[in-house]
Amino acid sequence: MTIENIDVDATLQKVEKLLSEEKGLSPAVRSMIELLALLITLLVGRLNRNSRNSSKPPSSDPNRKKESKAKGERKAGGQKGRDGVTLKKVDNPDEVEVIKVDRRKYPRSKYKVVGYEARQVFDIKISRVVTEYRAEVVEDAKGNRIVASFPEGVTKAVQYGPDLKAHAVYMSQYQLIPYKRIQEYFEGQIGIPLSEGSVYNFNREAYESLEPFEVRAREELAKSEVMHVDETSINKNGDRYWLHSASNSLWTYFFPHERRGTEAINSIGILPEFKGILCHDHLKSYYTYSNCTHALCNAHHLRELDGVWEDDNKQEWAKEMKALLKEINRATSDAGGMLGAKPHNK
């Protein structure tokens, strides 16, 4: 590594050579120089760490830029071997439009229909749908009025429907579109007036409706055989928070907290009850939980092995270990997710 035009590796090698040649140094001075050389090596290694060769998050990379592919490395468009997305005809189209032959363009004769050629066009219709519910009012012989019951949830003279609310929440919480632009979309594209406050209320309503799912997700994850956990820093109203995640093949749970360690993990309430295999990034706080078996994330291992290869004189063992881990992963994938698994008879 070079810092301010100084080749650090070459300089350290020169120091090691001088130490080996200088026999008159006192043991104390020699030990001090060796210690300083070690500290320099460690500090330089830290300077060279980034999200690609360590467990550091991408946000910590200095002057990070998106790597562009080398010219001629790949051609534009879909790459060979990828899983493409292709439209396929449906058996029951929503609309069928029959196009008749304009017989006036052809010689006079008797023509009979022998079949048709079909082409399907997939499209969407963006339109407002207003449903008016009219509850019947009747009177009995004594003049008592009876009014039919409106559908559940229809409580106001004019209100937004559940499909509109769900669409707004999807745009806000999944596509991360700002409230103002969601308002503009509904007014400009669909012709429905919608305030930013309404979008906020829809999100709040969805949040409250998801409480049973939140409870169920924690319960299912706590009793699962294998669970993956991680945490990453996020910005919450200008303050640094940690977004904790716990997941398996079926369930995923996110929880924001101002702390990263055991205080946050305990407040989530999943790990204290977990007794399966816990896969994580070697954060010390996870080792507090001794009722489970710990497995370390190999995605982090691969990055850290890159760091050893780049920063520690290109040690061959790091390169070989990375290749071994990738081969184990391929073998596990080919075996259906478990090494040594016997293929099922079809």
Give pLDDT tens digits for 131-167.
999 999 999 999 999 999 999 999 999 999 999 999 9
C-alpha to C-alpha distance for 264 and 256, rounded to whole angstroms = 9
User: Residue 343's Cα: distance from chain center in Å?
Assistant: 31
| Greatest extent of the chain over all pairs of C-alpha atoms, in Å | 122
Domain ranges of the chain: 2-43, 143-209, 225-334
Tell me how far CA of residue 46 lies from CA of 56, 61, 108, 316, in angstroms. 11, 12, 87, 20
pLDDT value of position 194:
97
pLDDT value of position 4:
60
Q: What is the mean pLDDT of each run of 10 residues along the chain (346 residues)?
A: 68 80 82 83 70 61 56 61 80 95 92 94 93 97 95 96 97 97 96 97 97 96 96 92 96 95 95 96 94 92 85 81 92 78 49
For the question of whether the overall pTM of this predicted structure is more than 0.85, the answer is: no
Helix 27-47 to helix 298-311 angle (10° resolution) is 130
C-alpha to C-alpha distance for 242 and 268, rounded to whole angstroms = 12
Residue 228's nearest CA partner among 307, 300, 174, 302 is: 300
pLDDT value of position 346:
42
